[in-house]
Structure 1
């Protein structure tokens, strides 16, 4: 199952508008914060923007040592019933979508696989250690 994303979709436009309005409000609050706290607020905002919303994630199976089949559901952006994730090295810092743990660049992670079109959750990562111990559902 793949979510359809279209820039002309009214729901996507509404979400985009709400997101931009919330970022404007966040920027106003951010500007009022002393400089010493700016870095901490950016890290927090990056964690939220990277897809760590209330996504429902289940590992369905691990067919090979380098792949996992995952069901991913996020009420605000997408639902994938049987998405293939592949092992890789994190190209940037982030947060594990499965556990919420911090991911550092170079950590071994699973990422959504894509060949032509990137899925809506393409920027998401899960720590490989978390995927390997996750119960198979």
Structure 2
């Protein structure tokens, strides 16, 4: 163990001297090339991994017990902030979408279509039934994280006065 610590200390001293005269990119490359193999982290034993997993499960369970999360389980994106920014045409809308659990789109294009499945309006929380007129995020590659989201056409603002203009509440 003393041998390894001595090598690590010598390596650290060499890196300190090198860092005083080299640019950050050269330092990074040099550190990657010069890192001793014997100080690399080894995989934890199965016993250690099980103990860590059990600890994390207890910690999560205790946190959830003392900090209950109340949300409407009907909503596929319960924490999403959704605002219509602009209506370029009657069949399209630009939507601000921010969900801390999945994604953030500052100016996401949405298109008018017909609902093919049951759901909940992301703007109003009203139920959506198959066949209702809705708006959905425009499909592109890669598929947006909120591709399953829907806004009822009846809940969609029709003019600038109905839209929320201040996105920085």
TM over 0.5: yes
Q: How does 1:1-137 map to 2 (within 5 A)?
A: 45=73, 47-48=74-75, 50-51=76-77, 53-133=78-158, 134-137=162-165
Structure 1 stretches of 4+ moved >2 Å = none
Question: What's the CA shift string for 1:1-31, capped at 9, x where partnerless?
Answer: xxxxxxxxxxxxxxxxx9xx99xxxxxxxxx
Structure 1 vs Structure 2 CA RMSD? 2.2
- Normalising by structure 1, we get a TM-score of 0.62
- Normalising by structure 2, we get a TM-score of 0.51
Structure 1: runs of 5+ lacking an equivalent:
1-17, 23-43
Structure with greater strand share of residues: 1
Question: What's the CA shift string for 1:74-132, capped at 9, x where partnerless?
Answer: 01111000000000000100000000000000000000002222100000000011113
**Which of the pair has more CA radius of gyration?**
2
Question: What's the CA shift string for 1:34-89, capped at 9, x where partnerless?
Answer: xxxxxxxxxx75x24x22x1211111100011000000000111100000000000
